[in-house]
Structure 1
Amino acid sequence: MRRIALFLGTNLAVLMVLGVVMNLLQPWLVRQGIDVNMAATLIIALVFGMGGAFISLLMSKRMALMSTRAKVIDSPANETERWLVATVEKQAREAGIGMPDVAIYDAPEPNAFATGASRNNALVAVSTGLLRSMRPNEVEAVLAHEVSHVANGDMITMTLLQGVLNTFVLLLSRILGQLIDRVVFKSDRGHGPGYWISVIVLQLVLGVLASLIVMAFSRWREFRADAGGARLAGRQNMMAALQRLKSAHGPAQLPESVEAFGIRGRVGGGLRRLLMSHPPLDERIEALARGQG
């Protein structure tokens, strides 16, 4: 639950910061004689909602390398590194994308992730634990899964989705805040104390609902990346890789900034599942066995 709380806290903190900036900006515009109508509010919400999401996307590779301390393979130093680069190069060519940077990060847990600003400017990284615990055909399938994430444009799609939802939260909280202030608190202008309190509460509630939507999409794209990995590396190899991950002990440790893009994520049952970025491995293996994804 601590990871879920951190995820929610991070997303809500971003929304709250954006909201505070908007709250400060709107009165300043009014003092400058600028009429802040609904159209202007929408534009401001778009700028802050989409802008924050795209800044995160542009910084994703750098942040992923810093947070995991991954080392990009510029010049392969051994046979394993040469094989990794050659395998990703072959899969990228088959998937029709530019060659991603290939990196290794030191971690005992078997995991891998992909991130980057575009299909032709991406990063694929694997942990030392994954290289030690998996057979070559399984590692190849994991790499294919991550290359499929890049080819599917998942990083960009997630960014667009998060940006649209951020905009929706920022805008709707203000519309409802004005309504509540006028109807409940009887404020003539709709910007009294009731407005500010309502906006803060609504941003928290709507922010949680937005996170549920983002996580639902994240779980769906894992099935799609598994199917893409099966096409690039073979269905049996992809299923074997997921089975190997299922047998791994310990948590799927990855920094919050890239956890949603790891091949192995945290899952749970009941209400907790609604906030998980990955579906259970059993369901992913079953989907592959049925030829779905």
Structure 2
Amino acid sequence: MNIMRTAMLLAFMTALFMGIGLLIGGQSGMLIALLIAAGMNLFSYWNSDRMVLAAYHAQQVDERNAPEFYHMIRDLSANAGLPMPKVYIYDNPQPNAFATGRNPQNAAVAASTGLLERLTPQEVAGVMAHELAHIQNRDTLTMTITATLAGAISMLGNFAFLFSGNRNSNNPLGVVGVIIAMIVAPFAAMIVQMAVSRTREYAADRRGAEICGNPMWLASALEKIAGAAHAIPNEDAERNPATAHMFIINPLSGERMDNLFSTHPNTDNRIAALRQMAGSFGGPGSTQGFQTARPRPAARSVPNAGWGGRRPDEPRKGPWS
């Protein structure tokens, strides 16, 4: 089913590209847009995950420089029946996380240093279980390709005015068509991001709670992240707004409500759903789930990695053995 949805999304984005090309440059513009879209679809399938990770300067970590975090992902992946994904940490004070990759065999999860510093191990486990749920549900290909193509569509709309003086184009609407493209392109890209992300977040919350074993860990994490996300700016996200739907909580400072244009469901609604789900896990006071302990201070082998880092020669301890 997700394969069909991805194919439909790619077809829609390609058609959107072609429509914008028609508005800007007529039939020749539509043909050029078709070629660009086809090339970007192919490129995005193989490389969009690397582009997103590079945009956030994410560094891959392993059991030598981030043992607790790495072993947490290993154990959660085993709970979910997933192959071990690549594990990344990106240096940003805003607590947040995302997953990417074209399939479970070629997937990656990334957490910010702010997430590892501000949340308890239980809450981090809930967040990363949510991201693994996206991988298991095969959302990551769709979400990552959408980020790439939405950014390209918005850029095409922003550059539309450069073609407004081209009198030789056979654009039937002339300057009016260019103006429409400038307005419609970013708006349409935003609507696509909204449609891709909002319904999938609830499903990932449910599955993530099952993977980590306690819905309240994720509920508590969402409450903390939502409170900090709008108070702590994420400059990389502000420069790459097309990737906002990939994060567990919208990283953009301007997003505060569950309205028509939100890329994420209302956080309070997500928390309420998780609290209701907690009843089947023994209630809010349940200790079911991963057994965790208070983490040790960070080692400096991973910059600002919180409890996720230690020296390679330090014996491994703690709950993620």
TM-score category of the 2 structures, normalised to the smaller one = 0.5 to 0.7
Given the alignment of the two structures, is residue 248 of structure 1 paired with residue 228 of structure 2, yes or no?
Answer: yes
Tell me by how many angstroms 1:220 deviates.
Answer: 1.6
Q: Is 1:53–1:163's contact at 8 Å kept on the other side of the alignment?
A: no
Partner residue of 2:178 out of 192, 200, 207:
200
CA distance in 1, matches of 2:40, 2:20: 8
Look up the match of 2:287: none
| Contact kept in structure 1, 2:223 and 2:271, CA below 8 Å | yes
When you count helix as a share of all residues, which structure comes out higher?
1
Distance in 1, matches of 2:97 and 2:190, equals 23
43-52 or 141-150, larger mean C-alpha shift? 43-52
Q: Which amino acid aligns with 1:232?
A: I
Alignment of 1:70-85 (within 5 A): 70-77=58-65, 81-85=66-70
Structure-1 residue corresponding to 2:81: 96
Corresponding letter in the other structure for 2:178: I
Q: CA deviation at 1:138?
A: 0.5
2:113 aligns to what? 128
Q: 1:39-68: per-residue Cα shift (whole Å, max 9, x none)? A: xx7x98765435424423432232233222
Secondary structure of residue in 1 paired with 2:228: coil
| Aligned residue runs from structure 1 range 85-164, under 5 A | 85-158=70-143
Per-residue CA deviation, residues 10-52 of structure 1 (Å, 9 max, x unaligned), is: x9xx9499728x958849xxxxxxxxxxxxx7x9876543542
Query: In the TM superposition, what are the counterparts of 1:57-76 in structure 2 within 5 Å?
Result: 57-76=45-64
Structure 2 CA distance for partners of 1:269 and 1:263, relative to 1, 3 Å: closer
Alignment correspondent of 1:225: 204
Partner of 1:290: 276
Q: CA deviation at 1:121?
A: 0.8
SS of equivalent to 1:247: helix
Structure 1 position 252, deviation (Å): 5.7
Distance 1:209 1:103 in 2: 31
| 1:243 shift after superposition | 2.0
Gaps of 5+ in 1: 1-10, 28-40, 167-190
What is the aligned-residue RMSD (CA, Å)? 3.9
- Shift, 1:251, TM fit: 3.8
- Residue 131 of structure 1 contacts residue 139 of structure 1 at CA under 8 Å; is this kept in 2? yes
Distance 1:290 1:85 in 2: 30
After superposition, the Cα gap between the structure-2 partners of 1:136 and 1:282, relative to the gap in structure 1 and judged at 3 Å, is same
CA spacing shift, 1:24–1:76, aligned 2, 3 Å: farther
Q: Give yes or no for contact 2:27–2:170 (8 Å, CA) kept in 1.
A: no
- Pair 160,70 (structure 1): closer, same or farther in 2 beyond 3 Å: closer
Provide the C-alpha distance between the structure 1 equivalents of 2:117 and 2:249, rounded to a whole number of angstroms.
Answer: 16
Q: Identify the residue that residue 19 of structure 1 maps to in structure 2.
A: 21
Q: Within the alignment, does 1:263 sit opposite 2:248 as a pair?
A: yes
Q: What fraction of aligned residue pairs are identical, expressed as a percent? A: 31
Contact 2:97/2:109 (CA < 8 Å) preserved in 1? yes
Q: 1:194 to 1:158 in 2, by over 3 A?
A: same
Deviations 1:114-165 (A, max 9, x none): 1122221111111111111111110111110111111111122346778999
Count of aligned pairs:
239
- Partner secondary structure for residue 82 of structure 2: coil
Q: Report the more deviating stretch, 54-63 or 130-139.
A: 54-63
- What SS class does the counterpart of residue 123 from structure 2 fall into? helix
How far 1:246 sits from its partner (Å)?
3.2
Query: Tell me, what secondary structure is at the counterpart of 2:260?
Result: helix
Q: What SS does the corresponding residue of 1:268 show, helix, strand or coil?
A: coil
TM-score, normalising length from structure 1? 0.67
TM-score, normalised with respect to structure 2: 0.62
Q: 1:287 to 1:71 in 2, by over 3 A?
A: same
Matched, 1:274 2:260: yes
